[in-house]
């Protein structure tokens, strides 16, 4: 059923640079010094953040335009990174044989996990689908290159993990952008890193960080799967906020 | 100088739930099944992603309303997490003594890094400001709790780091939301984790993941600091994208 759009004051902005809707700019001053975000901008972002889901079962398999994939990668590539090292790579996987090999491996890891559970937890876990690797038809693998930007990455001498954390920021940029494009993303972590390294021929120093199933979806669930299936529940925000000291 | 706003078709949405601007919903169907994102939604998000900066020198020190801080934490708390474990905590630090102690520690780490550099790299690094801990007046420390959600976190048996990666997704949600609020965020990684653990009295099993300076800014730089100061440059997107195999 086609969804009616409300009247909007903007023309298409997909290919626009500034000004974005809800973003006011003084044309007489340098861009970033005067651009103001508005209540509307906050609301749009909040809508995207709340709408984002970790998708397993709802992929349709309809292929994506290269331009859309490019938009997702552009968003990822605009992430913050320690020492501006931009230590990520992205492998766009559409080869059905690769998808199938990875899905088979993930099935084995799923079984190993199921075998580690007992009683009620096992029964709760059994019906939960944990990946949509074949159904999405597209995997985007984000990897970490610790050698990017040379031997003395600014800000990584104290916290070496800040490098791989940068890749995760890129993943989250991609995920939110996919949500804004009305797409689903599912982060699969049921795999052994060395399997993925071999499957995709990653160089030895490159660490796979995430396999993201990306694709069109029939819908996005309103409630996260693991809550719907009774696996666990939301933690209240107040429970995780502290002031000054723990 | 006040910044003129363009005419917009929306009223204030800061406190709205759905519908968000640019988000069309069929009132006859369950929400998440029919909401459609639009070109405008994509453009707003892209504007926020491109505008986001890692801020050091531009904090004004003007205090933030509690409601704004709550919005940032709400966005962080809506991040994806492995097995829906929501393994984050947030310590909101405004005590000037704590800010000052942390800033002094970071200064020492900065000096140690500077001492590790030689020649041109050292000269390039010297003028670069690496934190705005005191000037922002607010630190939000994101931490990781590996015990959250019990002993068998779904999806972490193969990739244990998926837990801490969830915290980084929360950081990025917070960062983008702060940008939409016209605020600056600076992720400080020049510290030793055990110093921060002692300073904030974190329980032994809690890992500090990020110190985020958060606050109002005089402006956001159009070009990232490390590019402006000649530390390094952007990597072209095509250089980091691969297809099917590396």
In the structure, what pLDDT confidence band is assigned to residue B42 with cuts at 50, 70 and 90? confident
Q: Give the pLDDT of residue B36.
A: 52
Question: Same domain for A130 and A181?
Answer: yes
Contacts of B238 (CB under 8 A, 6+ apart): none
Question: Same domain for A40 and A59?
Answer: no
Pairing state between β A183-188 and A207-216: antiparallel
Residue A237 lies in a domain: no
Residue A28 lies in a domain: yes
| ipTM attached to this prediction | 0.88
CATH assignment at residue B199: 3.40.109.10
Residue A239 lies in a domain: no
Question: Same domain for A77 and A18?
Answer: no
Q: Give the pLDDT of residue B120.
A: 94
Beta-sheet strands, E only, within A99-174? 139-144
**Across B180-185, average pLDDT:** 93
Is residue A220 less than 8 Å (CB to CB) from chain B?
A: yes
Give the residue from A3, A102, A154, A212 with the most B CB atoms within 10 Å of its CB, the best one to mutate.
A154
Summary mean pLDDT of chain B: 86
Question: Same domain for A37 and A79?
Answer: no
The CA distance from A42 to A22, in Å, is 9
Q: Is pLDDT at B34 greater than 60 in this prediction?
A: no
Cβ-contact A77, A88 below 8 angstroms: yes
Domain count for chain A, please give it.
Answer: 2
Question: Same domain for A34 and A62?
Answer: no
Residue B243 lies in a domain: no
Would you call A47 and B23 a contact, using CB atoms and an 8 Å cutoff? yes
Place of tokens 């160089």: A203
If we measure between CA atoms, which residue out of B76, B38, B89, B69 comes closest to residue B216? B69
Could you report the per-residue pLDDT of B168-182, keeping only the tens digit for each?
A: 999 999 999 999 998
Residue B185 lies in a domain: yes
Residue A83 lies in a domain: yes
Beta-sheet strands, E only, within chain A? 88-93, 139-144, 183-188, 207-216, 241-243
Residue B2 lies in a domain: no
- Using DSSP, state whether B124 is helix, strand or coil: helix
Question: Same domain for A81 and A131?
Answer: yes
Q: C-alpha B231: how far from its chain's center?
A: 22
Instruction: Find the domain containing A23 and state its range.
Output: 12-51
Contacts of A22 in chain B (CB under 8 A): 8, 10, 21, 44
Which tokens go with B107?
């200064």
The CA distance from B240 to B112, in Å, is 32
Size of interface A-B (CB pairs under 8 A): 394
Residue A205 lies in a domain: yes
Could you report the per-residue pLDDT of B193-246, keeping only the tens digit for each?
A: 999 999 999 999 999 999 999 999 998 898 999 999 999 999 999 999 999 999
């Amino acid at each position: 059923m086609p969804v009616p759009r409300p009247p909007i004051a903007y023309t298409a902005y997909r290919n626009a640079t500034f000004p974005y809707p809800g973003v006011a700019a003084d044309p007489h001053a340098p861009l970033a010094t005067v651009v103001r975000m508005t209540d509307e901008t906050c609301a749009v972002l909040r809508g995207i953040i709340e709408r984002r889901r970790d998708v397993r079962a709802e992929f349709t398999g309809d292929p994506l335009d290269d331009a859309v994939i490019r938009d997702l990668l552009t968003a990822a590539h605009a992430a913050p990174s320690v020492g501006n090292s931009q230590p990520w790579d992205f492998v766009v996987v559409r080869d059905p044989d690769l998808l199938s090999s990875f899905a088979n491996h993930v099935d084995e890891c799923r079984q190993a996990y199921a075998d580690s559970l007992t009683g009620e937890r096992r029964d709760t876990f059994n019906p939960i689908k944990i990946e949509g690797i074949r159904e999405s038809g597209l995997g985007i693998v984000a990897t970490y290159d610790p050698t990017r930007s040379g031997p003395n990455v600014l800000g990584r001498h104290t916290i070496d993990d800040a490098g791989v954390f940068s890749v995760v920021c890129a993943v989250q940029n991609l995920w939110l952008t996919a949500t804004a494009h009305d797409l689903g993303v599912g982060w699969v972590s049921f795999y052994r890193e060395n399997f993925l390294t071999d499957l995709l021929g990653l160089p030895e120093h490159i660490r796979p960080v995430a396999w993201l199933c990306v694709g069109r979806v029939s819908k996005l669930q309103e409630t996260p799967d693991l809550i719907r299936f009774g696996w666990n529940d939301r933690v209240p925000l107040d429970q995780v906020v502290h002031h000054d000291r723990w």
